[in-house]
Structure 1
Amino acid sequence: MSAPDKSRHYRALFISDVHLGTRGCQADLLLDFLKLNDAETVYLVGDIVDGWRLKRSWYWPQPHNDVVQKILRKGRKGARIVYIPGNHDEFLRDFLGTHFGGVEVTDSIIHETADGRSYLVIHGDQFDVVIRHAKWLAFFGDKAYVTALGLNTWVNFVRRRIGLTYWSLSAWAKLKVKNAVNFIGRFEEALSDEARRQGVHGVICGHIHHAADRDFNGIHYINTGDWVESCTAVAEHHDGTFEVIRWVKPAQADAVPAPAKERPVAA
């Protein structure tokens, strides 16, 4: 699959869990994605900046700054930019209801699709019992996650040298451990219940780094995934349909199978 020769334009784009300020952030791929994909509205669905990590040690290379500038440039060119903070960028929750640099900051928002459906857009950490009731455990889990990402770096260095594609140790582990699978299921159920309580057709969220697009007990549940492991975003087309886009390198485009309802796109 060849790289697209011009920008794609969508009605809306949803991006979450970028974790700018961390070594695991795949800012170069996100920047490439932003260069080739535009939308009338761009929703930043939390954990765009990792305040937790930046508090411990400062890490902000040029590609991370380039991502911020690219998003702000889209706003200057007419796109609506909505920032919904998550737990890693919760410092922005002190600024809910404000605008800065053309960016709206809100805790959640209802998105209306082109075909008249309504979706709750929220990061989702509010429905994570660990974040709500044992934040110390969340910090501990974050440390373990960073360690796993460090191991990923070495594993994938070897894989690239022998011609294999990227493989995520941490994502594999999360899906293989029974408790992690159960957590994902409970999270999806909690978000779907909240969407039902608010009387909307679906929910679009992030937080758990697990992209999804499926029906959950009559509610359309969409998770944007992340830009640390899977490099996924969600797009609403101009007819109101949704798509989970997995952004991969050109050499990997034909080799990386996408999960159900996802489409690989060459970067």
Structure 2
Amino acid sequence: MKKRKIELAVISDVHLGTYGCHADELITYLNSIQPKKLVLNGDIIDIWQFSKRYFPASHLKVLKKLIGMASKGVEVFYITGNHDEMLRKFSDTSMGNFKITNKLVLNLDGKKAWIFHGDVFDMSIQNAKWLAKLGGYGYDLLILINSFVNWCLAKMGREKYSLSKRIKNGVKSAVKYINNFERTAADLAIENHYDYVICGHIHQPKKERYENKYGSCVYLNSGDWVENLTALEYSFKRWRIYHYSHDRLSPFFVDEDLKDMDMNELIASITDQSVDAEISELDDNPEITEVPEKAKDLDDQGLAQE
């Protein structure tokens, strides 16, 4: 299968080691892309609910795939979350292209992206971790019940139904928590002059611009691989939310955002990618000593991680 080449992919809340994890679907997604950078934004391995009795082969394949991508040149950043908080003791550890950190700032075409899991905003985790863990077990049980319900609905030829989404959208306190989470993240990003703030944690995929009297930023959430099966992708200077349920059927889809992109901007973004190819050609052919002018200009812009 040909792979889609993208600048950056962000996934979070995979929860390997739990019954709700859709590992096979995640493998299918990872096999369909060829990113320059891959950000794992927390709760990839669910250490809270880890059990020796349940860690199937498909979950191990996900870990093998991630390590394999790093070994093939993909920069992989593992940002720790609350369910894999034990890894925080290894923060700032690097193993080749695989890096563990608690937060990340990337320069994307001259704009700053602030990436972190988001559990820092969850007071139940900060002040009553036992309650948060109990909630985690309850959520896992709900997913199990939901799987059985959906199996029955499929047998009857009816559409799947999400109990967790129903609860989140129907309980006022849950809606308020999600709205507060998003607004708090956006306000902090604006205060610190970031153009993008990217979170996980609440399992709610989203892309929205927020504004206050000090400025504006784009809030993004990568969702999860338990109920939504979503990821964030950055390419051609645009962000999009990947939805496995329908995007997997068209692996070479055209980004809807490109329809609204100015033609000159689109040409410029493609030209920037062709510069990368010229630089790569120089690396592969040491006898070539002349550096293209476009490559020099790109180098001056400083697209390195901050």
Q: Which TM class, normalised by the smaller chain length?
A: 0.7 to 0.9
**Matching residue's letter, 1:126:** V
Provide the secondary structure at the position in 1 that maps to 2:35.
strand
Amino acid at match of 1:171: K
Distance, in Å, in 2 between the alignment partners of 1:165 and 1:184 is: 26
Query: Partner of 2:207 in structure 1?
Result: 213
2:210, 2:125 → 1: CA distance?
A: 23
The amino acid across from 1:248 in the alignment is S
Runs of 4+ aligned structure 1 residues displaced above 4 Å come to: none
Q: Is it true that 1:43 corresponds to 2:33 in the alignment?
A: no
- The 3-state SS of whatever aligns with 2:105 is strand
Are 1:73 and 2:68 matched, yes or no?
Answer: yes
Q: CA deviation at 1:154?
A: 1.0
- Within 2, Cα distance between the matches of 1:167 and 1:99? 41
- The total of aligned residue pairs comes to 248
* Matched residue, 1:248: 245
What's the CA shift for 1:144?
1.7
Normalising by the residue count of structure 2, what TM-score does the alignment of the two structures yield? 0.77
The alpha-carbon deviation at position 6 of structure 1 amounts to 2.3
Matched with 1:25 is: 21
* Structure 2 residue identity aligned to 1:161: K
User: Aligned in 2, Cα 1:157/1:101: closer, same or farther, shift over 3 Å?
Assistant: farther
Q: Give the equivalent residue in structure 1 for 2:285.
A: none
Q: Find 1:185's aligned residue among 172, 175, 179.
A: 179
Rounded to whole Å, the distance in 1 between the matches of 2:122 and 2:12 is: 16
1:146 aligns with 2:135: no
Displacement after TM superposition at 1:102 (Å): 3.5
Q: Which residue of 2 aligns with 1:200?
A: 194
Q: Bigger CA drift: 42-51 or 157-166?
A: 157-166
C-alpha separation in 2, matches of 1:41 and 1:183: 31
Could you say which residue in structure 2 is the equivalent of 1:235? Answer: 233
Pairs within 5 Å for 1:4-153: 6-54=2-50, 58-100=53-95, 102-114=97-109, 116-153=110-147
TM-score normalised per structure 1 = 0.88
Determine which structure has more spread, i.e. the larger CA radius of gyration: 2
Q: For 1:8, give the aligned amino acid.
A: R
Partner Cα distance (1:25, 1:17) in 2: 9
The match for 2:152 among 151, 155, 158 is: 158
Relative distance call for 1:220 and 1:136 in structure 2 (3 A) is same
CA distance in 1, matches of 2:106, 2:221: 14
Contact 2:18–2:140 (Cα < 8 Å) also in 1: no
Q: Is the 8 A contact 1:14 1:43 kept in 2?
A: yes
Structure of higher RCO (CA pairs closer than 8 Å, 6+ residues apart):
1
Q: Which runs of 5+ in 2 are unaligned?
A: 251-255, 258-306
User: 1:38: how far off?
Assistant: 1.7
Q: Greater share of helix residues, 1 or 2?
A: 2
Structure 1 unmatched runs, 5+? 255-259, 262-267
Residues 235 and 245, structure 1, Cα contact 8 Å, conserved in 2:
yes
The 8 Å contact of residues 49 and 137 in structure 2, kept in 1 or not, is answered as no
- Report what 2:223 is aligned to: 225
Give the aligned residue type for 1:187: F
